[in-house]
Structure formats: structure tokens, C-alpha cells
Structure 1
Amino acid sequence: MNKKMSKKKMGFPTAFTVLFIVLIFAAVLTYVIPAGSYSKLKYDSDKKIFMVTKPDASVQEMPAKQETLDKLGIKVDIQKFADGSISKPVAIPGTYEKVKQNPQGVKELFQAPIKGVYDTIDIIMFVFIVGGCISVLNSTGAFDAGISSLSRATNGKEYVLIIVVTILIALGGTTFGMAEETIALYPILVPIFMAAGYDAIVCIAALYMGSSIGTMFSTVNPFSSVIGSNAAGISFTQGLTIRLIGLIIATVFTIVYILKYGAKIKKDPTKSLIYSQKEEIEEKFLKDYAGKSIPEFTFRRKLMLAIFGLAFVVMVWGVSTQEWWFLEMTTLFLVVGIIIGIISGMGEKEFVSKFVAGAGDLIGVALVIGVARGINLIMDTGLISDSILNLSSGAVQGMNPYVFIIVMLVIFIVLGFFIPSSSGLAVLAMPIMAPLADAVGLPRHVIVSAYQYGQGLIAFITPTGLILATLAMVDVTYDKWLKFIMKLMGYTGIFAVIMLLIEVALK
């Protein structure tokens, strides 16, 4: 009893608790920090002019020309406004003014999360529909069947299993944020890896690190790249190329790291970090292994996976060339989910049940987005967001861009420890952090990269994330995982810094 109570006290708070603490803190700050505001510039696509809203709420129209931006000191190409890459109001440097204080009380505090949900309903609906679509696909056994068929094809060349599984899961991570979905794969793949002469850590590494590297170097992941870029006021296609290069390189050295450990285990099983648990884990996973039912990788399942993958190609095309946004993207995945349901042959009741269950699994993510937005609303309504931005901008004025971006990476590592939700962190932090890039002359996509790398890196080990649930499924203790992963985490951290410095150099 005492041990349980002790563990409870030492546990890490959930993302909701952290966000509510930050929410209360933000409300308190509206009493402490002087209220103020920048003049804000927004592009009117209908009139093709700039609208400048001043701190006193008066509005001034200005010609939509590069000369206007240069005059106002906004270091952005006018084309980014014209093509919709930047759709949110931009603070105009040097226009900050103090205004009348507007502190937020208890009433505003409890209304903020609800208003935050209302304010982000387009993002939340997108999250629900994607969750439903993934759930329908998962229920067909397409993911399990695809990976299982590959494991049979690698008989005698077990190292290929590590390579293929890691690459496929990394692709899932970089495209749709595959993370929790991997939980269903452990009961199938752990016995396969162990039968091939590896230990359970190799399987965990292939799945968990494949997912982690994929999400860390996200390309079209709607839960980080898309939402993070949207919160930064840019298109997620900006910075996509450099992150794609990072994904390829990081995946390669992650695979090499796992292969080296795996080869050592096959040669000498006593070198396994979990050798003392060998009999226990074998009893759990290899007993009755021959009788396990593994889905067949039929043409129907191949077709469903192909259609799901094609959806992301269509999404990139739509956003890049057809001015699509959340309404169109959400509609796309609703249609894809229905098509997969029809192809799978499942009945109407089963389809609806799986779809709703998948959407329901992401209610937590959706509410985190809303609560996080509520924090922004408290600060905005309390008129302190611009004051904090002004103070932060002052702190980085004249700071070397290379030093600045490393500082940003460290900040996101810390934030990612307490808020493991990529979408929640994006909506909370991006509106504040992204404009700081303007102050040091960097494109905002560099901040998006710093956010992804920082949160992705800490996800390797953070107890507030998915790792403890993963280890519990395989009966591997946390300290053993730390021994395995810390070197790779260090290598990946150094690589992330190098990639950010390259992005700065290429600005």
C-alpha cells in the first residue's frame, strides 16, 4: 500500500494537468504583466491589400507590395501572403504599445478551454476523422498482415526484418503520426523477432524508434507538421524537403544502431540487456506461438493500404496546388475511410462502430488542442501575448541565428517532456515562438523543425509519453530501455542540431 502511494506521488502529471496549471499561470500573469499590443498586418485576399490593425483597434489599408513589407520591417516575401502560406495576422516589429490592463478572472479561466475547443473545431474534426479512418484500416488486419508477410519473406535473412519494419513504421510516423497504433503489433512481432534469435528490445526498438524517428522528422504528419505549421502561419510544405532528408538519414543510422545490437545478441544471447528476463519473456510470447493466427496479406488488404497511402499524396497535392485546408483534408479522409470500409467487406454497423471508436480514441488529443488554445485565448484576451512576445523579442535582438535556433530546440525539449501531445504543444507554443524567428531573420519553418525535433527527441524516453505503456506490454523495465537508448538519443540530438544549423544556413 505504501509503495503504491509512493509511486503515485512520484508520478508525472498528465498533459491536461500540465495545461491547466499553465492556464492558471497565464491568468495570473494577466494581473502581473503590463498589457500591450503590436500593430497587426493581415493580407485581404479578396481586395488584395494589407489591413493593418493598430493597438487602438483602428484599421489602416496599405498596398500589398513588397515595398510595404520592407517599410514595415517584416522580413517575409510577399508571395507567402499571396499564396496563402501565411494566413494569420503578423505582428509588425517596433509597433508595440502599452494598453489598458484587462486581467482574466475565475469566470474567464473556466470558459477558456471551452472557447478553445470552439476556436479549434476545424482541427479537432480533422483529428477525429483521421482517427476513425485509421481505426477502420487497423480493424481489417491490413497493417498486421503486411508486416507479418514481410517477416516470412525474410526467413534466413532476419536482419532484413529489422530494416523493413523500421522503415515501414517510420513511414507511418512521418505521414500520419503512427504511434499508439503500434501497440497492436507487439503481440505479433515480438515472437517473430525472438524466434529469429533477437531479444524483445530489438522488436521494441524497430517499432517504437521507427515511429519516434518518423514523427520527429515528420513530413506530412497532420498531428505535428500540418498543425504546427498552421499555428505558425505557414504552409506545412515549407521546410518539407530538409525534413525529408533528415528523415532518411536519421532512419538509416537508427537502423544501423539496432542492427549492431541485434547482431551482438544473435552471436551471444548473454549480451542482451534483458538476458535475466529471457525465460520469463519467452514463456509469455513463444508459448503456443505456432498456433497464433496471423492475417493473410491478401490483394484486398494490399489495396486498402495503397489507398490509405495515396490519401497523403492527394493531401499534399491539394494543399500545395489547390488551396486546400482543414475542411478539404478532413473530407478526403472521411471518403478514404468509407472506401476502405467498403473494400474490406465489413457491414455498416461494424464500420460505424470501428470508425466512432477510432475517433473516440482521439478525444483526449482533441481536448488537449482545445485546452492549449484556451491558454492562448487567455493571454490574447488579457492583452499580454504581445507583451511577452515583446520581451522575448528584446531578449533575442541581435542574437546570432545559429545560437537562437539551438535555444529553441532546448525549449521544445523541455516543453515536450511535460506536454507529449504534438498537436497540443504546437497550438500552445507556436503562436508565441514562431514570430521570434522574424526577430532574428529566420523563416518560420525553422521554428517548426525545432519544435518537431525537440519534442520528438524527448519522446524517446519521456515517461509522460508512450514508452512506459510499450515497455509494460513486453515486460521490459524502464532502466533497461534507458541503457539501450541513451547513446542513440545522444547521436540523434547532435544530428538534430546539425540539421537545424543547416536550415539556418540555407535561409
Structure 2
Amino acid sequence: MKKKKISFPTAFTVLVIVLILAAVLTYIVPAGTYAKIKYEPDKKVFTMIKPDTSTKELPGTQETLNKMGIKTEIGKFEDGSITKPVAIPGTYEKVTQTPQGFFAVLQSPIKGIYDTIDIITFVLIIGGVIGVLNNTGAFDAGIASLSRATKGREFLLIVVVTVLISIGGTTFGMAEETIALYPVLIPIFIATGYDAIVCIAAIYMGSSIGTMFSTVNPFSSIIASNAAGIKFTQGLTVRIVGLVIATIITIIYILKYAKKVKADATKSLIYAQKEEIEKKFLVDYSDEEAFKFTGRRKLMLIIFALTFVVMVWGVSIKQWWFTEMTALFLCSGIIIGVISGMGEKEFVNKFVAGAGDLIGVALIIGVARSINLVMEQGMISDSILYMASGAVKGMNSMLFVIVMLIVFLVLGFFIPSSSGLAVLSIPIIAPLADTVGLSRDIIISTYQYGQGLMAFITPTGLILATLAMVDVTYDKWLKFIMPLMGYITAFAVVMLLVETVI
């Protein structure tokens, strides 16, 4: 009798396992919370939310912040730089244990989908636009043209994509927005002789390195600096140097793997899926009989490319978020449909089919959010922060920064939102730097490096949704990324130690 081959579980199963472990923690970790304040711009007051859930209004003044030990300028609340509730140092209290049982776990994925409906809608609309474009043959013609243009210089694809997305990550926190790029770029990378992992690495790691070494990213650097009571320009030079070096390390690592795969396809970590992936992404594509790159097809691709340019402008300048970005892509899809000349019925059918292709990805995003909801409802996130902050008091400065990196690695797993982690943890942890004689900008660096490193692999982040687009299992990604994660971790430690002595 032939033995059935054991395969690595799907992304959904991995998330369910992590969800169950999170629920178990709500029985083990003591429940507790910090008091928090939230600014009410209409009333120009602070609302204090106490651990017992009672509320109290306080004057919306700098004096109120000073009394609570929050070293942040009132202007940061007034201009909308800080909108989420901020934890108040020294107010942690244990509360009644709220373990999350069977029914809470069962309901959490549904609540997670509700909670991420803006991202899910964004993903589905992008899928629809991709479906329409695929039907026009514009992608196939563009791929053929690009593969001919880069003949012999295919490595430039890796360099350009990684650098551009790294810039997007460091400036405005480009992360979820990259989901739109995978269906577009994976066929190009495959057609030039690489595998899907090379494309995933260039996009995902470009974003991850950029956000890890954020410079002017409003969702991490600026919010965290505001919460610490310092200017975001403090430590900026060091992080710029770190961004450049880390991006170079990442590109060299990806190029080394890509060169090996291009020379011998059997060296690919996903070689067993080669035919399946090519069939999915290169359907009807032939380098020798490629579709003609007509003026109409060029115009459709130009409009699609300009959509990303407008999206970057909107997010970075006009403070757009998912509603505006989704509307932008919907408008782009309709314009492309009109230019293509396809009928109304064909447009709708292709749009719906394209959206259907990404339903699995959309659901994974919702299920990943459910893990955070279980921990929030179990009241253990603040407890983990409290225990972590208590463990580093009075340490040697160099040991302190290394331990803080580990602390933020752990917190980054439980709280994958950069802005959420900043407003919760920085007001509590930043004052600890004072006790060991370090500048508070080092706390900003440890926060960014720790959460950034965890983003490489955490199932609660975007990586499983990304892998699901190509049906690549999590174990293959871990095998690829763990050596690079080791290199970047060592580099981050060196950067932190340098910061302690300059």
C-alpha cells in the first residue's frame, strides 16, 4: 500500500492553530490593562478610559498630558497625528480573567472579516481589475515585451522592484497596497526565468525592509516618536544608513537565490509546483508568439500603472485610506473596460471572475485579524507589555537594547499593527530608556526593528495572504527567509549597539 505523502498545512490551518494557541493564552496569562486616553477633537477634551471601563473627561491641554507622564505635545493630538487611545504609564491593573472559549474562537474569524472589510474589499476590487486586464491580453503582450527588453539583464527587475517598494515602505508604510502587485509581477518574473519566490521576496521584503527602517513613515516613525515625546528626526540619520545597507543585503540575498534558480530550475524551493504555477500565471503566453503590443494595450497598461502613482500620491499626501484606494482601482477598472472595447456582460463576468480568484486571500486577511481580536477580548495584550517592560528595568544599556529588540519581536507577533503597537507600548517603554541613560530615539529604533523582523514570518501579518496567491506553503517561505532573517537580525543588533555609543 502506497503511503500518503504528508504535506504542510494550508495558510488557513496555520492561522487556526495560532488562533487556538492565542485562546489558550487567555487562560494562562493574567488579564490586565492600562488606563488609556483618547482625544475628542469636537469637544477638545481627553476621554480617559479606566481599567474598569469607566470613563472620565479631562481638559484637552498640555498640562493634562504632563500630569499623566505622557511626554507628547498636545498639538500632535489636535492635528490628528495621534488618533488611537494612548496608554498611560504606571496605570496597569489586573482585571477579571476573560478566557476565550470555544464559541469566542468560533466567532472570531467572522468578527475578523468584519473588522478588515476595508482591506478585503480592496483586494477583491483589485482582483476584478486584474481579471479584466488579463482578458484583454494586455498583460501577456506587456510580459513578452518586457522579457525581450530585459534579456540578459533580468536581475534589474529584482533590484528595481525591491528598491522602489522599499522606498514606499520607508516613506508611507507601503504594505497592504503591495497586494495589487503580485498578480501583475509574478508572470513577468516567471517569464524571465525566475520562480514565484523571487517575485514574492522582491515585493514583500522590499516592503518589510522599508517599514522596518522607516524614516518618515507616519504610521510608525512619526506616531511612535510623537508618543515618546521626541521629534521624528531624532535618530533619522542612523535609520537612513540602516535602510540603505539592509536593502543592499536583501537584494544580494535574493539575487543569489535567483541566479541559482535561473541556472537550474530544479534548485527552486517550489520546483514541484513549476508547471502548476506557470499554467496559472502564463496561460496562453508564449515568448515566441506573444500577443502584439498594440497601442490600445499599451494605453490600458499605462492607465493601470498610473493608478499606482495616484494611489501613492493619495496615501502619502492626501491621507487616503482603503475606501479611497478601492474607489480609485474601481474607476481604473471601468476605464480599462471601456478602452478594451469589451461588452458590458463580458466586463462584468471577467471582473467577478477576477475578484473570485482572490477570495481565498481576502478570507485569510480576516482570519489573521481574528487572532488579535481574541487576545484583545481576553485582555492579555497589555499584560504581555507590562511583563516585558518590567523585565528590562535597571539593565546595562547595551543589554537593554538587545532585550528591547526581543521584547518588540514578541509584541510584534501579538500586535502586528505598527500604529497600534506604537500608541500602546511607546508611552510605557520610552521612559525606561531614561533609567539606563539612553536617548528615547533608540526605543523608536528597537520598536521598528523588532516589529519589522517579526513581519518577515508572522502568520498574523500579510505573509500568509501573499503566499496564498501562488499556493506556496508557509514552510517553503520559512526555508527561504530564515537565513536572511538571521543576517538582518545581526545587522539590527549592530545598528542598535552603534546607537548606544554615538
Above 0.5 in TM-score?
yes
For residue 160 of structure 2, what is the amino acid of its counterpart?
I
Matched with 2:447 is 447
For residue 216 of structure 1, what is the amino acid of its counterpart?
S
Deviation of 1:398 (Å): 4.9
In 1, Cα distance between the equivalents of 2:451 and 2:48?
29
Residues 271-319 of structure 1: per-residue CA shift (max 9 Å, x gap) = x968xx9xx99xx99xx96644255274414522432222223322454
Pairing of 1:33-432 with structure 2 (within 5 A): 33-154=29-150, 158-159=152-153, 161-164=154-157, 166-168=159-161, 171=164, 176-177=177-178, 178-179=181-182, 181-190=184-193, 207-218=199-210, 250-252=246-248, 291-294=288-291, 296=293, 298=295, 299-320=298-319, 324-398=320-394, 400=397, 402-408=401-407, 410-411=409-410, 426=416, 431=420
Residues 106-125 of structure 1: per-residue CA shift (max 9 Å, x gap) = 33332222223223333332
Moved more, 83-92 or 392-401: 392-401
Maintained 8 Å contact 2:224/2:444: yes
Maintained 8 Å contact 2:409/2:451: no
For residue 437 of structure 1, what is the amino acid of its counterpart?
I
Deviation of 1:68 (Å): 2.1
For residue 156 of structure 2, what is the amino acid of its counterpart?
I
Residues 192-249 of structure 1: per-residue CA shift (max 9 Å, x gap) = xxxxxxxx5xx667534422432323569xxxx89989999999xx89x888876665
**Structure 1 residue matching 2:391: 3-state secondary structure:** helix
For residue 73 of structure 1, what is the amino acid of its counterpart?
G
**Structure 2: 5+ residue stretches without partners:** 169-173, 280-284, 431-439
**Structure 2 residue matching 1:43: 3-state secondary structure:** strand
TM value normalised by structure 1: 0.69
Q: Percent identity?
A: 45
Maintained 8 Å contact 2:26/2:375: yes
**Structure 2 residue matching 1:163: 3-state secondary structure:** helix
**Structure 2 residue matching 1:426: 3-state secondary structure:** coil
Deviation of 1:250 (Å): 4.8
Change (3 A) 1:96 1:447: same
Instruction: Kindly report the root-mean-square deviation, in angstroms, between the aligned alpha carbons of the 2 structures.
Output: 5.0
**Structure 1 residue matching 2:338: 3-state secondary structure:** helix
User: Aligned residue pairs: how many?
Assistant: 451
For residue 163 of structure 1, what is the amino acid of its counterpart?
L
Residues 338-379 of structure 1: per-residue CA shift (max 9 Å, x gap) = 233333434333333343334333333433333333333333
In 1, Cα distance between the equivalents of 2:56 and 2:463?
50
Deviation of 1:46 (Å): 1.0
In 1, Cα distance between the equivalents of 2:83 and 2:106?
29
Deviation of 1:495 (Å): 4.4
**Structure 1: 5+ residue stretches without partners:** 191-199, 416-423
In 1, Cα distance between the equivalents of 2:225 and 2:367?
20
In 1, Cα distance between the equivalents of 2:163 and 2:126?
18
Matched with 1:437 is 426
For residue 416 of structure 2, what is the amino acid of its counterpart?
A
Change (3 A) 1:344 1:39: same
**Structure 1 residue matching 2:48: 3-state secondary structure:** strand
Change (3 A) 1:445 1:358: farther
Maintained 8 Å contact 1:27/1:109: yes
For residue 451 of structure 2, what is the amino acid of its counterpart?
Y
Matched with 2:10 is 14
Change (3 A) 1:364 1:264: closer
TM value normalised by structure 2: 0.69
